[in-house]
Structure 1
Amino acid sequence: MLATFLGIIFLNIKGYFNIALIFYAIGVFLYVVISLKTAEVIPIKTIIIATIPFLIVYLVPLILYSDAVQIEVFNFIMIYVFCVGLFFFITTLVYINKPNKINLWLLSSGVVFLISTIIHGYNLFFKFLITIRVGVVITFLFMHYAMYKYIVLKAIENDREIPSQKQQTSRLVK
């Protein structure tokens, strides 16, 4: 959250767009790590199925925005887009592997973040509209809400599993 907050701060300071993208990428990458730490083993078939949307997510901005983006920030944008695409990829994998309400919050976070990033890119590089800016903020806030909801629900689920594991262990000892 701190990295994302710093990204917001630097995005609003003229001349610090690259630093803002780096902080945003760090924040998104931390979400990727959190998602992977809570994920279970994912079969190869699921990975192959989820690779197609990931490639689309990664290649569409590359194709659409490559002409509009200045060359000096292009690499920073691609790093950020890669992190967003990776987050979307991981959230999709986790949900496809184990579809439930908790993982649906994670998937929602990934999908909404993807939408937020695409419309934010349009707003930055093609046509600035205040209504799009409002949409970016709303989707950005919902993405974080969905991610934190996932983290809390996952923690509650893990807390429930620990006592049942202790009961099973105590039965084995008796």
Structure 2
Amino acid sequence: MPRFGRAFDARFGPHWPSYVLQSLLASVSVFVVLVTLHRHNLAVAASLAATAFTVFAMPGSITASMRNVIGGHLVGLTFGAFFSFFPQETPLAKDAVYALAVGAAMFTMTLTNTEHPPAAGTALGVVIAGCTIRIVLGVIVGITLLALIHRLLKPILRDLVAVKPRDRLNLDDRFERD
């Protein structure tokens, strides 16, 4: 039974309003992104949904900062658009171009201190779908909305994700049978 003792966050009880409010804010933000994108690129929407998780579940994280959210997604958008113009005539060529878009975005995000892991998904989504005005607007509206809500509500947002890494289990403990 001790294995399941940590299945639920012990901080939920006294802080349940934060959990509910921040989850609702994430839902509303994702709804606006989906309406803006009109489901034209669900891969980009998925990366923005991951950003919503970061912004609302981990508001104190550096990856949730305005610089990282906006900068990371703009880098992802730029490299996704750039690589979408490369020839992709075979499945192997497509895979190579997709991987290069993600790798170039990652390199640039780390170089410019705009690391935002979900933005790698933006690079992938844009290179797969091709760069359209609707996708560009969807990303810009989504990241602006998320960054502004984060900036305005940061004083009342609570980190819902444990800041310290969980205790590491001994490998043998993980495979022990009852």
Q: TM-score, normalised by structure 1?
A: 0.31
| Bigger RCO of structures 1 and 2 (CA < 8 A, at least 6 apart) | 2
Q: TM-score, normalised by structure 2?
A: 0.31
User: More helix by proportion, 1 or 2?
Assistant: 1
